[in-house]
Amino acid sequence: MLNLNIDGKDVAVASGTTVLEALRLAGLEVPTLCHDERLKPFGACRLCIVEIAGMPKPVTSCTTPATDGMVVKTNSERLYRLRKTTVELLLSDHPNDCMVCGSSGDCTLQELAYLYGIRENRFLGEVREHSRTDHNPFIIRDQNKCVMCGLCVRVCDEVQGVGAIGFSERGFEAKVIPPFGHDLDCEFCGQCVSVCPTGALAGSLWAGKPRSGGVVKTDTTCTYCGCGCNITLSSHGDKVIRIDSVADNHNRGWLCVKGRFGYEFINSNERLTTPLIRKKKGGEFEKATWDEALSFVAEKLSAIKEKHGADSVAGLCSARCTNEENYLFQKLFRVGFGTNNIDHCARY
């Protein structure tokens, strides 16, 4: 174990811990913009800087390994000034359009601007003007809002293993783009969108949907493959408006294109909304009440069983539906009809 003193608190941490991790273990916090525990430290935003006794300049706590006997200060006038300047610089090249930005209320930069109370900006000057050229149906890139934290580039490379975007150009012109500035053409997993701290990357489906008022978040489990990803479903009224995943679950917040963006079927106008009965073979479906439909089904199946025996009826339960539903379904066949004719499509 390494023993550190951070802001007067003694903390013992395992070897290999960074100063940022150590100070968080001590219950302290510093602002970060480019850091994500799931990715390798990057050290670009310079907000997590701390002062370490014996080091001539502030260092980024995210990249600095903790060492035994280290004495760390997370706050001082100097650090406050440096962090504030950094935020002010970022804002000097950022469209101040929070009112119409989809990420308002869910934006690290906005939060920092608020925390540091930056109303006036000493560094106003040229702002980047990128044209928007994306035609893909999932991800909107607004590079004017990019803070160059590199989270998207890193998640695409380190986690997704795709490398669909990278840094280009230098100095003020530096930017994140797909190869040769082409339109984004990738797996559209949206991992980049999920880590973007501003509105530079957003889901196309979210545009124009409520941001906070009336939005309800429900933690649940994805309905697609067997990975069983934890998702948080945002709904407004009876409409699903967005799907996210939090970082500290077993899928670490990562989702695939289907899990993240494939939710429109839920509110599809092709959904079945009423029981339908076909009175005679070859006839058309007619709308029915639940009572009619349920009675009809119960009578028909019971009658077949009575006439042809228990094994003349069978059920297919569902690999899509819940355990409770499947349990009750097989129980229905075993108890209600006395048959073991139950299966599902595990085989295809």
* 207 binds other proteins, rule: CB under 8 A: no
Closest CA to 136 of 102, 178, 100, 172: 178
The angle formed by the CA atoms of residues 42, 46 and 47, to the nearest 5 degrees, is 115
Q: Are 165 and 156 in contact (CB under 8 A)?
A: yes
The verdict on 15 binding other proteins (CB under 8 A) reads: no
Write the CA distances from 260 to 90, 115, 279, integer angstroms. 29, 31, 41
Q: Which is nearer to other proteins, 3 or 322 (CB)?
A: 322
Residue 89 makes contact with other proteins by CB under 8 A: yes
Q: Does 221 bind other proteins (CB under 8 A)?
A: yes
With binding defined as CB under 8 A, does residue 306 bind other proteins? Answer: no
Based on the shown chain and the rule CB under 8 A, indicate whether residue 143 belongs to the binding site for other proteins. no
215 part of the interface to other proteins, by CB under 8 A: no
Beta-bridged to residue 72, according to DSSP, are 6, 52
Q: Minimum distance between the CB of residue 272 and other proteins, rounded to whole angstroms?
A: 4
Residue 13 pairs with which residues in a beta bridge? 2
What DSSP string describes 109-140? Answer: HHHHHHHTT--S-TT------PPP----SSEE
> How many residues of this chain bind other proteins (CB under 8 A)?
150
Helices (H), 246-289: 257-261
Which is nearest to 91 in space by CA: 115, 75, 74? 115
Beta-carbon contacts of 315 under 8 Å, excluding residues fewer than 6 positions away, are 329, 330, 332, 333, 341, 342
Q: Is 250 in the site for other proteins (CB under 8 A)?
A: yes
By CB under 8 A, name the one of 5, 104, 143, 330 that touches other proteins. 330
SS3 204: helix
Phi, psi dihedrals of residue 177, rounded to the nearest 5° = -145, 160
Give the residue with the Cβ less far from other proteins, 82 or 246. 82
Least CB distance to other proteins at residue 218 (A): 4
| Residues 176-195, interacting with other proteins (CB under 8 A) | 187-189
Q: Is 123 in the site for other proteins (CB under 8 A)?
A: yes
Nearer to other proteins, 103 or 230 (CB): 230
- Does position 161 bind other proteins by CB under 8 A? yes
Examine residue 246 and tell whether it contacts other proteins (CB under 8 A).
no
If one asks whether residue 57 binds other proteins (CB under 8 A), the answer comes out as yes
Give min distance, CB of 211 to other proteins, in A.
17
When the beta carbons of 85 and 104 are compared against other proteins, the nearer one is: 85
**130 is an interface residue for other proteins by CB under 8 A:** no
Rounded CA-CA distance 261/203 in Å is 8
Secondary structure of residue 22 in the 3-state scheme: helix
Report the nearest approach of other proteins to the CB of residue 250 (Å).
6
Q: Is 6 in the site for other proteins (CB under 8 A)?
A: no
User: CA 304, CA 50: separation in Å to the nearest integer?
Assistant: 77
Q: Cα–Cα distance between 138 and 318 in angstroms, integer? A: 30
Name the minimum Å distance from CB 221 to other proteins. 5
In the complex, least distance from residue 101 CB atom to other proteins, rounded to whole angstroms: 20
Is 320 a binder of other proteins (CB under 8 A)? yes
Tell me: does residue 235 bind other proteins (CB under 8 A).
yes
Taking CB under 8 A as the criterion, the residue among 12, 25, 118, 301 binding other proteins is 301
- Least distance between other proteins and beta carbon 311 (Å): 7
